[in-house]
Amino acid sequence: MLNRQELVTLSQCHDSTRPVVSLYLKVDRQSPEPKHVIRFKNLVQQAEERRGDFSTDTWQSITDDLERARATIRDEYARGSQSLVIFGSGEHLWKVYELPYEVPTALYLEEQPVLRPLFRLLQRFDRYLAILVDQHRARLFMVTPDGAEEVAVTEQEFPIGEHDQGGWAQGRFERHREHHVHRHYKAANDLAFEIFRHRGYNGVVLLGTEETTSALREELHPYLQKLVLASEPMSLDASASTVGRRVMEIARGARRERQRQMLDDFEAEIKSSGALAVEGLEETLRATQQGQLLTLLLQEDLKVEGGRCSQCDALTIETQGDCPYCGGTIVRLDDVVESLVSRAYQQDAEVIFLATDGGASRLKPYGGIGATLRFALT
């Protein structure tokens, strides 16, 4: 499955000599002639309308990539996936992703991979770790919108002793038992942190009794403590489907609350001094150029023409002319917001795409885009 770092790496690929082919294709093999094959033919026909924008050699290289994509769709696509995503730029780039989720069908010819649909997908399909724990056993689940998978179990043997004469002294037995309890929660934490290092996840939900979840939370690594979304009661023998449903309910609520809080913080800063927030595309691009983005908020369908400096790579709302930073030549971009989103991820900023039913209207007075900043702009 795609992850943030892989997309950031892809976002750094661009070819100044020819466009990168970015293909998003919803697939379907149920009909006699699969519908996705027809969709691809239609996309290629639409792309032909731009043939005059490119030299003969450049168009030939684009055609070669499209033919390679056609062969991939016909021969290599694995059944079971709902979407196929391909990025191609001759010998410099060829990436194929089969996704278990639907993406809008589209074909782009731009100077760098068009990644916003995948960044949006990552936001909506975060992964979560659920830890179901009692005093003896812990079950760890990786949870996505597709369901929950039990990925690890840890169990601790506890000493059994007598407190009367000839057995363990009461105090010594209790201290020994507390040691085993501590080892139990530490083992659960170690597993959780190991899973985070190798697979990553966006949040943690603790499940069990109030006593066991509180004890485990105290034992968690400080970074994992910051990821805890909630602690809730649940029986240790709960099914994976029960765990998955509850965790996704908690995660959706946490995501909505996070977006609301980010919008509140952004608006409060804009309405006060405004030193640590910017509104509108032009100021947001300026903040990006200075590397100051902390959180980027934008309407998910926002698209605006702009430009990129061929010399210093700065982004601007201008589509031609001289770069305001170095005087280099500005190259026109069909959608400078696409490049801005990639830059935000490269700067490790948090990016929040807002849908029409998820707060996008609150950004309308600010041009559909804004950001909170690490430091004030100079």
- In this structure, the chain runs to a length of 378
**Pick from 129, 130, 124, 70: nearest CA to 99:** 124
Query: What angle, 0 to 180 degrees and rounded to 10, lies between the N-to-C axes of helices 116-124 and 336-346?
Result: 50
- For the stretch 56-111, pLDDT in tens is 999 999 999 999 999 988 876 656 678 899 999 988 899 999 888 888 899 999 98
Q: What angle do CA 150, 154, 157 make, to 5 degrees?
A: 150
Fold held by 273-373:
60s Ribosomal Protein L30; Chain: A; (3.30.1330)
* DSSP one-letter string for 238-306: --HHHHHHHHHHHHHHHHHHHHHHHHHHHHHHHHTT-TTEEESHHHHHHHHHTT-EEEEEEETT----E
Handedness of CA 174, 180, 182, 184 (dihedral sign): negative
Model pTM score: 0.79
Place of tokens 């689940």: 141
Which residue do the tokens 């943690």 mark?
204
Average pLDDT, integer, range 111-124? 88
User: Which residue is it, tokens 């040691």?
Assistant: 179
Q: Which two tokens stand for residue 310?
A: 């061929």
Tokens of 84: 């196929």
SS3 20: strand
Instruction: Give start-end residues of each CATH 3.30.420.60 domain in the chain.
Output: 128-256
Residue found by looking up tokens 């005059």 in the block? 52
Q: What is the pLDDT of residues 264-307, one digit of tens each?
A: 999 999 998 778 999 999 999 999 999 999 999 999 889 999 99
Task: Tell me the sheet residues that pair with 39.
Answer: none
Q: For residue 122, which of 212, 21, 265, 255 has the smallest C-alpha distance?
A: 255
pLDDT band at 35, cuts 50/70/90? confident
Give the DSSP per-residue string, 26-64: E---SSSS-HHHHHHHHHHHHHHTTGGGS-HHHHHHHHH
Q: Apex CA 285: angle with CA 284 and CA 288, to 5°?
A: 90
Q: Which residue has the tokens 């004030």?
A: 376
**Sign of the CA dihedral 52, 53, 55, 56?**
negative
The more confident residue out of 355 and 235 is 235
CATH number, domain 128-256: 3.30.420.60
pLDDT of 325 higher than 90: yes
Instruction: Tokens for 177, please give them.
Output: 């038992």
For residue 177, what pLDDT band results from cuts at 50, 70 and 90? low
Q: Crossing angle of helices 336-346/4-11, nearest 10°?
A: 120
- Tokens 């979840």 sit on residue: 213
Which CATH superfamily groups domain 4-124? eRF1 domain 1 (3.30.960.10)
Question: What are the start and end residues of each CATH 3.30.960.10 domain in the chain?
Answer: 4-124
Residue that wins the pLDDT comparison between 27 and 109:
109
Among candidates 277, 136, 140, 114, which has minimal Cα distance to 199? 140
Q: In the chain, which residues fall in CATH 3.30.1330.30?
A: 273-373
Question: How far apart (Å, rounded) are the C-alpha atoms in residues 151 and 134?
Answer: 17
> Residues of the chain with pLDDT > 90: what percent?
62
119: left (phi over 0), alpha (psi -120 to 50) or beta: alpha
